[in-house]
Amino acid sequence: MIPKIGPRQYPITKPQVNNEEDSKAKQTSAQTQEDGENLQQSKGLAYAEENRNQTQLPTGEQTRSNLVQTTKTNTKEYTATEQEQEEYHKVTNHNGLCKTNTPLSQRSTKINIAQILKDFKNTAVAIATPDDLMEEVDGYIDLIKKQVSKDKPNVKLIQSNLKNAGGLLDKYISDTLNKDSKVVQNWVEAVFLQDVNYKYDDEEVNVDFLVNFPEKKEEEKPKEPQKLEETKPQVVEDKDKELKEKFIKAKKESSIEQFREALSLTDNAHDKEIKPKITFEMGKIYDKQDKLPEALICYQQTLENSKDNNLKFQTHYSMAKIYDDVNEFEPAIDHYFIAIGYAGEAENDEAQTTFLTKMANLFADKYDRKALEFYSEAETTAERVDKPNVKAFVSSNRATAYDKFNMPKDALKYYSDAIQNYSQTNSTEKIAINYKRAGELMSDYKKKDKAKSLLQKAMSYAIKLDDKEMMKEINKELIVNM
CATH code, 255: 1.25.40.10
Structurally, how many domains does the chain consist of?
2
Query: Can you say whether residue 112 is alpha, beta or left, with left for phi > 0 and alpha for psi between -120 and 50 degrees?
Result: beta
> Count of CB atoms within 10 A of residue 150's CB?
14
> In tens digits, what is the pLDDT along the chain, a chain of 482 residues?
323 333 333 333 333 334 443 444 334 333 334 433 333 333 333 333 333 333 333 333 344 444 433 333 333 333 445 554 554 454 444 444 444 455 555 667 788 999 899 889 888 888 888 888 888 888 888 888 888 888 888 888 888 888 888 888 888 888 888 888 888 888 888 888 888 999 888 888 877 666 654 444 444 555 555 544 444 444 445 667 888 888 999 999 999 999 999 888 888 788 889 999 999 999 999 999 999 999 999 999 999 999 999 999 999 999 999 999 998 999 999 999 999 999 988 889 999 999 999 999 999 999 999 999 999 999 999 999 989 999 999 999 999 999 999 999 999 999 999 999 999 998 999 999 999 999 999 999 999 999 999 999 999 999 999 999 999 999 999 998 88
Asked if residue 469 is part of any domain, the answer here is no
The span from the CA of 118 to the CA of 384, in Å, is: 35
Residues 6+ away with beta carbon under 8 Å from 234: none
Q: 156 lies in a domain?
A: yes
Report the distance separating Cα 50 and Cα 164, nearest Å.
Answer: 7
Which pTM does this prediction carry? 0.54
Residue 445 domain-assigned?
Answer: no
Single out the residue of 292, 313, 293 nearest to residue 302, CA to CA: 313
Instruction: Determine if residue 95 is left, alpha or beta; phi over 0 gives left, psi from -120 to 50 gives alpha, anything else beta.
Output: alpha
Does the residue 173 lie in any domain? yes
Rg (CA), the chain: 26
Same-domain status, 183 and 57? yes
Strand partners, 196: 111
Same domain, residue pair 195 and 290 = no
Enumerate the H helices of 99-213 as residue ranges: 113-126, 131-148, 155-177, 183-191
Instruction: For residues 202 and 55, state if they share a domain.
Output: yes
**Residue 2: helix, strand or coil by DSSP?**
coil
The residue from 278, 301, 327 where one domain ends is 327
- Looking at the structure, tell me whether residues 198 and 258 fall in a common domain: no
CA dist., res. 272 & res. 243, Å (int) = 12
Looking at the fold, whether 175 and 58 belong to one and the same domain comes out as yes
Residue 426 backbone dihedrals phi, psi, to 5 degrees: 55, 40
Q: Which domain holds residue 91?
A: 51-67+78-209
